[in-house]
Amino acid sequence: MMRTALKFFLVLGILHLGGMVLSPYIAHKMLKMKVTEIVSGSRRNSEQFVQDRILEYAQEKRIPISRRDLHVWRQGKQIQVVIRYDRVVNIPVKPYELDLQLAVPRDAVAPGFRTRRY
């Protein structure tokens, strides 16, 4: 009986830790999809309009993006977006800071992320 309870709490702890680590990555992918949607539907809109829509979505989803993290400009007929922001994941052993980048369209700057310990 004790072993079963211990296994249960171990599995529960692993799932909780996995959720803590994966949630920023999932939020980042959702942000990328939303930014792509905003940009593709905003060919005639201003850069300020696109920036406001992205910041509104980020605030709604509690993604830590400020105006200085978000760069929007027009290149020809296309709107380009680059977002760079940090997100801290509080893992019980050590907190990790995720340095996340997002670029739309994809050929502007390669999107990616790195993990830094501190």
Q: What is the dihedral of CA 22, 26, 27, 28, to 10 degrees?
A: 100
Range of the domain at 34: 2-117
Span 36-53, average pLDDT: 82
Structural domain count of the chain: 1
47-57: b or e for each residue (b if 16 or more CB lie within 10 Å)? eeebbbbbbeb
pLDDT tens digits for range 96-117 = 676 777 777 644 433 443 444 4
| pLDDT score at 26 | 84
pLDDT tens digits for range 61-87 = 888 888 998 988 888 778 888 888 887
The CA angle 59-42-70, to the nearest 5 degrees, is 40
